[in-house]
A and B are shown apart, each in its own frame.
Chain A
């Protein structure tokens, strides 16, 4: 049981390049989330997927797109990377139980030059 996994762990991009961050969970969770974490800003929600087949914008969705490929996988795409997207990106998932909380992946560190 690996929990939430993310790839890659670290990536350097040039401005304008595109890339996809991958996330997978093996806990049979319905809901999945993408956050970014910046110094002094805390965790900010980019997009989330309450269930397979649905996605919704979070607090900071501009410049990003997501795909809920199936119940296990939720990817985040940067179509044209900008230096402002330099950050640490975390994927999380949660089940449906009343007291269920979020389980986080190890993060992807992205540097956009």
Chain B
């Protein structure tokens, strides 16, 4: 079983839709959870960072962590064509540990 599982998609939605992206993980030692956004032919950029279980909101984006189920989600409200990108979940055990990435989900938001 891989440490981090992420559905690669692709996911195609109409503009304005609510998007839900998900990752599951098997290592209960993971404490820090991130979502990166990667536009085509660009490097990943940090979108959201969470530590504890629960929700964290930033504008149209909400990151959710459920440590008991080993499940994290990213919700995008009122999705825009500019949100079209690959979204990668990432997690780590502590400040001195390496990141473990999911394989990424390709999202297309159609105008």
B43 and A41 form a contact (CB under 8 A): no
Is A74's CB within 8 Å of the partner chain B?
Answer: no
What's the nearest-Cβ distance from chain B to residue A108, in Å? 10
**Residues of B contacting A53 in the complex (Cβ-Cβ under 8 angstroms):** none
B104 and A101 form a contact (CB under 8 A): no
Q: A44 CA to B57 CA in the complex, in Å?
A: 29
Q: DSSP majority for the A interface? A: loop
Partner of A105, one of B43, B51, B101, B102: B43
* Given A99-B51, A101-B46, A103-B46, A40 contacting B95 (CB threshold 8 A): no
Is A45's CB within 8 Å of the partner chain B?
Answer: yes
How many inter-chain residue pairs (CB < 8 Å) link A and B? 49
Partner of A96, one of B43, B49, B95: B95
A12-56 to B contact mask, C-beta < 8 Å, 1/0: 000000000000000000000100000011110100101000000
**Residues of B contacting A61 in the complex (Cβ-Cβ under 8 angstroms):** none
Is A2's CB within 8 Å of the partner chain B?
Answer: no
Interface size counted on chain A using CB atoms at 8 A: 24
Q: A97 CA to B42 CA in the complex, in Å?
A: 26
Q: A41 CA to B95 CA in the complex, in Å?
A: 25
B42 and A101 form a contact (CB under 8 A): no
B101 and A107 form a contact (CB under 8 A): no
**Residues of B contacting A58 in the complex (Cβ-Cβ under 8 angstroms):** 98
Q: Can you offer 17 A-B residue contacts whose CB atoms are under 8 A? A: A40-B8, A42-B101, A42-B102, A42-B103, A42-B104, A43-B101, A45-B98, A99-B51, A101-B34, A101-B90, A102-B46, A102-B99, A104-B36, A104-B43, A104-B44, A106-B43, A109-B41
> Apart from A40-B8, A48-B98, A101-B46, what are 8 other A-B pairs with CB-CB below 8 Å?
A42-B6, A42-B88, A42-B101, A45-B98, A96-B95, A101-B99, A104-B44, A105-B43
By Cβ-Cβ distance, the 4 closest A-B pairs, closest first, are A42-B103, A104-B43, A43-B101, A98-B95
